[in-house]
Every structure is written in structure tokens, then in C-alpha cells.
A and B are shown apart, each in its own frame.
Chain A
Amino acid sequence: MSLETTWFLLISVLWIGYFILEGFDFGVGVLLPFVSRNEADRRAVLTTLGPVWDGNEVWLLVAGGATFAAFPEWYATLFSGFYLPLFLILVSLIVRGVSFEYRSKYGNAKWRQRWDIAIVISSALPALLWGVAFANIVRGVPLEKSAQGHIEYVGGFFNLLNPYALLGGVVTLTVFLTHGAIFLSLKTAGGIRDRAHELGLKIGMVAAVAAVAFLLWTNLALPAFNSKVALLSAGVALAWVSGLAATLKRREGWAFIFSATAILLFVSDLFYALYPRVMPSSLGAQFDLTIRNASSTAYTLKVMTVVAVVMTPLVLIYQGWTYWVFRKRVSASQISHPERGILDTATHILHQ
């Protein structure tokens, strides 16, 4: 396998990790008001994300950094081209992280309500926009060679809002909602678990329809029938249906494994449809960004391969261990004085 291919693979692994992990984070964030009946519920829901959301988000930062290092042309063209959607994602991630940390510091109902609204919007927006962005990458966007000899984006913002891309957005949004619901039913107890279970089933059906439509469209839009892309698409469908069946039978662990697998296969499918291109141009194949014309030198790729091969397994081990440490279900009854924020009053001040 060439170095470029290795890095294409590694970057797809980073995106797979990101979408599986932050995918359920996004889902849980959007579902927060819909699975909760009271303040204790809401805090239990957020506590399932507490120890892990930040580590999950790092997958995105590493995907960004790795793209910068391995395919600088891809990094530069993608993020300057998809400027406004990326900006909206960044703003959402800023608001979301702060909301988690600050929301329950005060008991004030209005304070908490505002952060809850922020959590819902800032979780829904990236869940939708990542789908829009990736669908556009797969579909191809207007790229042209500039006077400096670089392949650059020449479309505007509204170019990105085409039906195929919007359908892609609906797919990621509904898939992440389902994935989040399954995660919640696996990680909580009592009423939250039941409501998450029901919502997971309902949204999961919508996601199934959207995903099938999107994958059919993806397969038909390819210049020639690609049996491996088709096979992966079928795999996505199979995993998703298995996930829904497991949800129906209330086998929550299996349901989560299947929804994670479906996401893995879905992202693999998109990357497979791209390969060896990283950003096809809608203005002609001569303007395609590929793993060859976008990549760094062999030396840089070698250095980075060593780092990635040593570090990635280590990261997987300690991040996996975190999930094991926090494996117990969280229930609303475990939250003492849910209405009280730790900053509300100084309970006992020592005077000496």
C-alpha cells in the first residue's frame, strides 16, 4: 500500500471514530428535552456524556490536524471552500462545550433553560452540516486551478445547498439522533431509558428511509457501477436494520454495536466512493484533488505514519478504558438535589 493510500485510510479511520463517538454526543444533545421529564432526568442525561464528550471531540481535531499534515492541499481547499458551514460548526462546538460545563452550575431555571436551548441547537446544527459537507465532497464541487497552480473552490455558499447534500444532512442528523437514543437507553435507567428506546425506534425508521434513498442516489450517481461501493451500501442497510431489530428486542448493547457498525460502514462507503480522489471537481476530472496531487512529501508521511501507528492503539486503549470505568448506568435518582447548582450558595463557610 502506498503512503498516500495509507494516509487516506488513516484519515477515514479518524472520521469514522469521530462520527461514531461524537455522533451519539450530538444525538444525546438534541434529545435532551425529549427524553427528560424533570431536572433530575436532564442532569442524568448530560452526565452520561460528562466524562467522554471532550475526548470524543478530539477525534475531529486530530482529523483536521492529520489532514493538514498529510494532505495540505485538501485541508486548505476544503476549509477555505466550505467556509461558512465550517464556521457554523465551529461556533456550535464552542457553544456546546461551554453549555455542558456551565449549565448546572446555577440552579436558576431560566439560566438552565437557556443553556438547554443552546445544547439542542448546537448539537443539531453540526449533526446536519457534517452530512451536507460530506455529501458535497462525494458529489463533487466546483474546483478549478488558480493562477498559482493550486486547485481551489470556486462555488459560493448556496452551491453547497443542493438536494443531494441536504439529504445527506438529513441522514447524518437522523442517524446520530438514533445512535444517541440507543446510547441513552444503554447508559441510563428508568423513564429516560424507556423514552430513549421509543424515540430510537421511531427516528431509526426515518433514518433508514433517508439513508437508503441517499445511498441509492450515491450509487447511481457514480460514473460506473462500483460493486464494492454497492456492497458497502448494502452492509450499511443490513447493520442498520439489525440495530433496529435489536432495539425492538431491547438488546441495547447489540443495538449500539450495530448502529456504530452502520456508521462505520457508511463513512467507509463514502470514502471508498471517493478513493483515490479526496475532492472531486464538478468542472472536470483534471481539477480533481487526489491523494497524489494533495499530499505531503513521502518523508512527512513516513514520520506521521510512525507517530500514528504508535499512538492510535494507545489512545484507543485508554479511551476505551474510560468507557469501562464509567460503564454503570446513570439514573435520575442518583442525582442529589438536582435543582441545586454548586455555585448557588456557599453552604458552609469556615470563619476563623
Chain B
Amino acid sequence: MNSLDLARWQFAITTVYHFLFVPITIGMGFLVAGLQTAWYRTNKVKYLRATKFFGKLFLINFAIGVVTGIVQEFQFGMNWSSYSRFVGDIFGAPLAMEGLLAFFLESTFLGLWIFGWDRLPKKIHLASIWLASLGTLLSAYFILAANAWMQHPVGYTMNLEKGRAELTSIVSVLTQKTALATFFHTIPSAAFTAGAFIAGISAWLLIKKMDAEMSRTTLKLGLITMMASFVLVFISGDVTSKIMTEQQPMKMAAAEALYQTTDSAPFSLLTIGTLDGSRSVFQIDVPSVLSFLATGDFKGTVKGVNDIQAEYEKTYGPGDYSPNIPLAYWSFRLMIGFGALGFLFALLTLFKMRREGTPRGKWFLPAMIFLPFTPLLANSFGWIFTEAGRQPWAVFGLIRTADGVRAVVSAGSVLFTMIVFTLLYGVLAFIEVGLTLKVIKNGPQTELDYADPKLGGSDKQTLVMAY
């Protein structure tokens, strides 16, 4: 493998790994903030137990999200220096804004929240988890705007002399519909993920008869969060696919393995193609649904890979402009499939709870253990689809991924760092999962004493939180 392939693998590994933790963090932050608010409002201790219990899980997860995020900030310069030179004038701005507006807010107020139980008055302590959560939201917004610009560059002009794209309107970059649609797709997905996480864990506690008072409440909270967010994910997913059809028709055609331009195009449930992916042999289809997904009209025309390829050759010169079609096709289906599976589990459980109180049955425990994994898989496949489907472009229409790396960094160096990152991330995953399972097995703490402290706390007391 050359340094390009290795850099691509490294980016894929570190980014997919990072994004396992990100949506849990974003969603859990808000849910824990919500639980703490419920405690603040009602003074019911079950909400305090839930805040502390899920807060612990939130923080174990957050730690890995933070440290793997550091790599993301520098990886562009290290492995993708040509890309960085080309896009820096535009792409750097949202990254710097993310740091200044989001990272500081998130890290500072989370520190206050973790260590502030006996140092901050109740109200300010509650405000700090909300501010930290707001930080995660802002962070998502800026980084998604940067990614949206790679999907659909706007507000720029090309400087051929300097060989780079230059920013002409930051407002277009931050408010283009691609960015907004992605944001409203990703954030509800994060809520869905955290909802599944909380629901799965609460169900386990309920089955093990641990703190039934709390776990019934949090199970319901998790499931209802999943229901509500799924609706939003569904709507924004629909909007996103229409924008994608308009801006990146090749990605949509690849997602459907649709080679010929078709009216009333069917949605394919299963395709078996030739090994080189250039032709499909066997398909199971749902008539006209693809046309509806892509254009909003059951009779609409969806362009096929072959026609788009011919069109792009005219615009961009000779070359292969189609992504890896089996990868795009399957990642698209797995994203939707795992999301829908999680939703069905949640719906069924909620329905059963309504009818028979605590859900029972052989299927229930394994389903609930599997539940948190459904959105994690859906999220990962979603990003794999979005990024792999844009290939061969790094920034659509402007710079190819292959032109983003430079020979300054040898293949050996990239291979070495990739191996170390992968091993390190593997070890961290092992430890993280171990700690998470331990917290769950221990269950919520039941002895909690809380006295509303004055600002700064008192001198001689024992610390509630110490490293």
C-alpha cells in the first residue's frame, strides 16, 4: 500500500472510532442535564440517582471522545498536507471557531460539573451541565458545516495562482442547506443513540431488579427519546437525500447501484452484482420508491451511474468518477436498516410496557442488550456512506482525495502511526467497555447525601469528587 491508501485507512479508522463516542456524548449530555433538571424541579431522589449513575457512564465515554478528538485536529496537517493547503482558507475557519466557541465551553463547564457537586450552588451546578452540552452542540455544528463544505463547496472562489480555494462568504459556508440538513440529521441521531444507550441499560437493571423505581423512569425516558428523535432523523434523512440527489447525483446512484437513468425508479432491497461492481445481476425492488426518495415524485427521473460518469468526464476531464459502488450500496442500507431495527425494538418495548407493565419474554433481554449497538452501527455506516460515496473527491468537484496527500510523509511513517493508533484505540476500547460494564453491574448508588453548597465550598470537608 502507498501512503495515500494508508492515510485513507488511518483517517477511516480514527474517524469512525472517534464517532462511536461522539453521539453518545452529545445525546447523554442533554439527557443527564434533563435528569438533573428533573431532580432540581421535583426534589425526587430517583432523579438524583439517575443523574449520578448515567453521569458516570457519560464521563467514561466522554474521556475517550475527547482524547481521540485531539488526533482529528492535527491529522489534516500530518497526513493530508496538500489538502490542508488547498482548503485551509475556508476549512480552517470553522475548525478554529469550533475550538474557540465550543471546546472551551464544553471542557471548562464539564470540569465544573464533575468537581462542582460540593463547590457550586445547586442552580449554578445545574447550569454547568447545560452549558457543557451546549458546547457539544456547537462543536457538532461547526464541524458539520466544514464537512458539508466538502460535500458541497459554497462561498468560495478558486485562486489558480496559489492553487487553493479561498473564502468569499463565511455566512454561506455556515448556513448552506447541506450544513443545516446534516446538522438536523446528526443531532437527532445522537439523541437516538443516547436514548438507546439509556434504555438498554435501564432494561437490564429492571430485569436484574436493581433500583426499579429509577430504571422504570429512565427506560421510559430512553424509549421516548428514541421515538421522538427517530421522527426527526427520518424527516431530515429524507431532506438530506433530496439535497444529495441534487448536489451529488453520483452518490445517490451509487447508493442504489442504479446504473441506467430511470423514471419511476424502484428502491432496491437487495442487489447482487458482478465482482467489479459495474453491473447488477439480481435485484429485489420496491417499485417507484427510489424516485420518491430522491425527487419527491414517484414518477421522477433518477440519473444512473453511467450517464453521470459521461457527464463528469465532459466537465472534469477523463477519469473514474464513481465511488466504490458495493460499499456505497451496502453502507446506505445498513445505516437505514440498523436505525429502523433500533426503532422497532423501542416501539415494541414501549407497547409492551403499556400493556403489561414490566416487559417480559425470552426476546426481551437479548434485544435490550443489542439495542444500544443498533444506532452505533447505523451512525458508523452513515458516515462511511457519506464519505466513501463522495469519492474520488475530497472536496466535491474541487480536489481529489488522491491529490490530498504529499510524499513528504513516507508510507512507512503513516503505516507506523496507523498501527500504533489502532492498537492504542483497541486497548482503550477494551478498558472503556470494561469500566462501562462494571458501572452497570454495580447499579445506581442508593446512599446519596446532598447539601446545597455555597460558591467555592467549605475548607475542611471531605471532597465529594476526587481523581
Binding site for B on A (CB under 8 A): 43-44, 46-47, 49-55, 57-58, 60-62, 64-73, 75-81, 83-84, 86-87, 90-91, 93-95, 97-98, 100-105, 146, 148-150, 152-154, 296-297, 299-300, 303-304, 307-308, 311-312, 315, 318-319, 322, 324-328, 330, 334-336, 342-343, 345-352
Contacts and interface: CB of A to CB of B under 8 A. Distances in A.
Interface string B182-220: 000000000000000000000000000111110000000
Interface centre among B81, B112, B444, B457 (most CB of A within 10 A): B81
8 contacts: A50-B466, A54-B111, A61-B99, A101-B59, A300-B170, A343-B435, A346-B441, A350-B446
A79 to B, nearest CB: 3
Contacts of B69: 61
Interface in B80-105: 81-82, 84-85, 87-93, 95-101, 103-105
Given A50-B115, A318-B108, A334-B460, 12 more contacts: A46-B466, A49-B467, A66-B92, A69-B92, A77-B81, A98-B428, A101-B60, A325-B112, A334-B462, A334-B466, A335-B462, A347-B445
A80 B409 contact: yes
Interface of B: 56, 59-60, 63-64, 66-71, 73-74, 76-79, 81-82, 84-85, 87-93, 95-101, 103-105, 107-112, 114-116, 119-120, 163-164, 166-168, 170, 209-213, 406, 408-409, 413, 417, 420-421, 424, 428, 431, 435, 438-439, 441-447, 455-457, 459-463, 465-467
Nearest to B78: A79
A46 B95 CA distance: 31
Given A43-B467, A51-B114, A98-B63, A346 B95 contact: no
Nearest to B209: A351
A214 B457 CA distance: 44
Contacts of A148: 82, 163
Contacts of B460: 334
A62 B104 contact: yes
Given A75-B88, A349-B443, A44 B212 contact: no
Contacts of B88: 68-69, 71-73, 75-76, 296
Contacts of B428: 94, 98
A327 B85 CA distance: 44
Contacts of A352: 209, 211-213
B146 to A, nearest CB: 10
B85 A76 contact: yes
B408 A81 contact: yes
A75 B67 contact: no
B84 A76 contact: yes
A97 B60 CA distance: 11
Given A50-B115, A98-B428, A300-B93, A75 B77 contact: yes
A97 B67 contact: yes
Contacts of B92: 65-70, 72, 75, 296, 300
Contact of A61 (B73, B213, B424): B73
B40 to A, nearest CB: 19
A107 to B, nearest CB: 12
B298 to A, nearest CB: 44
A48 to B, nearest CB: 9
Contact of B71 (A90, A154, A325, A327): A90
Contacts of A60: 70
Contact of B167 (A75, A77, A153, A297): A297
Does more than half of chain B's interface fall in helix, strand or loop, or is it mixed? Answer: helix
A325 B467 contact: no
Query: Nearest 8 CB-CB pairs, A to B?
Result: A72-B88, A79-B77, A69-B92, A62-B99, A68-B92, A346-B442, A46-B467, A80-B81
A57 B105 CA distance: 13
Contacts of A297: 89, 166-167
B112 A69 contact: no
A100 B467 CA distance: 7
B439 A343 contact: yes
Contacts of A94: 67-68, 70-71, 424, 428
A97 B63 contact: yes
B446 A308 contact: no
Contacts of A102: 60, 63, 431, 435
B181 to A, nearest CB: 23
B167 A315 contact: no
A307 B78 CA distance: 26
A50 B111 contact: yes
Contact of B107 (A50, A57, A84, A308): A57
B463 A47 contact: yes
B463 A79 contact: no
A346 B443 contact: yes
Given A94-B71, A334-B463, A75 B84 contact: yes
Given A54-B66, A300-B89, A330 B463 contact: yes
A32 B56 CA distance: 25
B255 to A, nearest CB: 31
Interface centre among B59, B97, B100, B119 (most CB of A within 10 A): B100
Contacts of B74: 64, 79, 86, 90
Interface centre among B209, B457, B466 (most CB of A within 10 A): B466
B112 A51 contact: yes
A61 B79 CA distance: 17
A97 B99 contact: no
A83 B104 contact: no
Contacts of B78: 79-80, 83, 86-87
A319 B104 contact: yes
A200 to B, nearest CB: 22
B66 A97 contact: yes
B209 A52 contact: no
Nearest to B458: A328
A67 to B, nearest CB: 8
A52 B111 CA distance: 6
B210 A80 contact: no
B104 A68 contact: no
